[in-house]
Amino acid sequence: MQVAQSRHKSYADVRQRDLEFHVGDKVFLKVAPLKGVLQFEKKGKLSFRFVGPFEILEQVGLVAYRLVLSPSLFVVHNMFHVTMFRKYVVDPSHMVDYEPLAIDDYLSYVEQPVEIFAREVKMLRNRRISLVKVLWWNHKVEKATWEREVDMRARYPELFED
C-alpha cells in the first residue's frame, strides 16, 4: 500500500507547481461552473472558466491572497486560494485599436463599402444575375457579403471607377 501511495505521490509531485504572486500582480480568477447555478452572469456550460484580470491587494498567509474585485462582484468575498489563480501576462497585442463609429440620433450607423474583391454570375432559370462580394467598413473579410452588381453600381459608383 505504501509503495502505491509513494508512486502516486511522485506522479502528482511532477505536475504540481509552486505558485507565488506578489502584491500588484494581475491574475485571472478561476470560477468553477456548477450545474444549474448562475455564477458570474452566465449559466451552465456557457459560463466563464476565468474572469478578470484582477490586481492582488495583499498576501494573507502562505497560500491566500486578497484581490481588488470590480464593483459588480460585491457579493463575492475577495480572498482566494492560490490555486484559483492564473497569471495574467500583459501583452500589447491583446489591446484592440478601434475607430469610434459615427452614430446618429437613432443609435444607428451607415455601413460604407470599402472594396469589391470578387465577382460572380449566377444563372437563375433563363436570367443571369451578376453579383459582387463587398468588404464593408469595420468588418472583417469573413463578414463580406454578396450583393447585386446593379444595386451597388447605383448606390456606390466610386467602387466601379476602375
> What is the total count of domains within the chain?
2
Q: Is 54 exposed, middle or buried (0-12, 13-18, 19+ CB in 10 A)?
A: buried
Q: What is the pLDDT of residues 30-80, one digit of tens each?
A: 876 544 444 555 566 666 778 878 899 999 988 899 999 888 777 778 888
Q: Do 17 and 88 fall within a single domain?
A: yes
Residues 62 and 130 reside in one and the same domain? no
> pTM above the 0.75 mark?
no
Question: Residue 138 is part of which domain span?
Answer: 113-160
Query: Do residues 79 and 10 both lie within one domain?
Result: yes
Do residue 81 and residue 118 come from a single domain? no
Sheet strands (E) in the chain: 26-30, 38-39, 42-43, 50-60, 64-68, 79-81, 85-87, 113-124, 127-136, 145-148
User: Are 44 and 15 in contact, with CB atoms under 8 Å apart?
Assistant: no
Which of 154, 150, 151, 149 lies closest to 116 in space, CA to CA?
149
pLDDT tens digits along 10-28:
887 776 667 788 898 899 8
